[in-house]
Amino acid sequence: MTTTQSEKSTSGGEVFAERLDEKLSRSIDLAKSSATFASIVNPDSSPDFVRWVLRNVLLEVFSYAPVVVEASYAAIGRLPKTSADVIRALTKFILEEIDHSELALRDYVAQGGSEACARGRRPSPESFTLASTCRALASEEDPICCLGFLYYLEAMGSRLAPIAHHALQRLNLDAQNDFISEPADVDDMHSRILRSLIVRTVDADASRNEPIEFGFDCMSAVYPLPVWAAAFERASRESHPG
C-alpha cells in the first residue's frame, strides 16, 4: 500500500516536528522584538551603532560556536550504532559548521574588532552558559537530544539571518558580513535536514520525542535573548565610552 501525502503529514514524527515549529515561532517572535535585533533592522538606527551591535553579536558567536561543534561530536559519538544513518547525516552537517566561528571572527575583525582580544578573552557568562548547556546535554543526557538543540539553532538562524542580511544591505554593511550573508541558504538546508531526521527518528521510535524536545527546550532557555542582551550591552557601552 502506498503512503499518501496526507498520511505522511500526520505521522507521529511530523506532528512532533510541527509542535517544535510552533515553539520555534514563539522564540523567533521574542527574538525579533529584542533590542538587539530591532536595532539592526530599524531603518532609523545609525550605521555605526548597527556595526557595534553586529560585531558584538559576532563575538558571541565566536565564543560559543566551537563548543556547539565539540558537543555535537560528543553526542554523535554516544549515539547507538544502530542509528548509523542519523550518525552519518549529523556528522556531515557538523562538518559544514566547523568554520562558522572563524567566519564570525573574520567579520568581527572587519567591523573593527580585535582578533587578539577576541581570541584571548573569556566568553561572556551568557555564551559560557549556552556552551555549557550543549556540553551537558551532549555528555550527560540521551545523545539524541542534540537533534533538538541543533534544530533550534539552525532553524532560528535560517529564519532571522535573511532579515538581518537585508538590513545590512540597506546600510552597505553586507559586504563585510559573510557569516550572516553566506550561511543563510546553508542554514535553511541544514534546518530542513535536521527536521527530517527528527521526523524519521520519532516515526521509528515515538519515545525519542522526549529527549529531542528536552534539547530543544534547553537551547531555547539560553539562546538567543541572554546572549544577544550581553552583546547589546557591550555595544551600548562602546557607543558611549566613559
Q: How far is the CB of 193 from Fe ion (least distance, A)?
A: 9
Count how many Cα atoms sit within 13 Å of the Cα of residue 46 in the half-sphere of its side chain. 6
Name the residue nearer to Fe ion (CB basis): 126 or 154: 154
Name the residue nearer to Fe ion (CB basis): 92 or 166: 92
Q: Pick from 16, 86, 17, 24: which is nearest to 219 by CA? A: 24
Q: How far is the CB of 101 from Fe ion (least distance, A)?
A: 12
String of contacts with Fe ion for each residue 82-121, x by CB under 5 A: ----------------------------------------
Name the residue nearer to Fe ion (CB basis): 103 or 173: 103
Contact between 195 and Fe ion by CB under 5 A: the answer reads: no
105 contacts 58 by C-beta, under 8 angstroms: yes
SS3 118: helix
Contact between 187 and Fe ion by CB under 5 A: the answer reads: yes
Q: How far is the CB of 82 from Fe ion (least distance, A)?
A: 26
d(CA 124, CA 135): 16
* Phi and psi at residue 43, to the nearest 5°: -65, -15
Sign of torsion over alpha carbons 155, 156, 159, 164: negative
* Window 60 to 79, contacts with Fe ion (CB under 5 A): none
Rg (CA), the chain: 18
Contact between 190 and Fe ion by CB under 5 A: the answer reads: yes
Name the residue nearer to Fe ion (CB basis): 141 or 187: 187
Binding footprint of Fe ion, residue count (CB under 5 A):
3
C-alpha separations of 121 from 36, 107, 115 in Å:
22, 17, 10
Count of other CB atoms within 10 angstroms of residue 24:
19
Contacting range for Fe ion; rule: CB under 5 A; set: 37-45, 169-177, 190-198, 229-237: 190-198
Contacting range for Fe ion; rule: CB under 5 A; set: 63-71, 78-86, 184-192, 218-226: 184-192
* Window 137 to 166, contacts with Fe ion (CB under 5 A): 154
Q: Pick from 50, 68, 175, 62: which is nearest to 116 by CA? A: 62
Contacting range for Fe ion; rule: CB under 5 A; set: 1-9, 50-58, 143-151, 182-190: 182-190
List, in order, residues 6 or more apart from 233 with CB less than 8 Å away: none
Name the residue nearer to Fe ion (CB basis): 71 or 235: 71
Site residues (vs Fe ion, CB under 5 A): 154, 187, 190
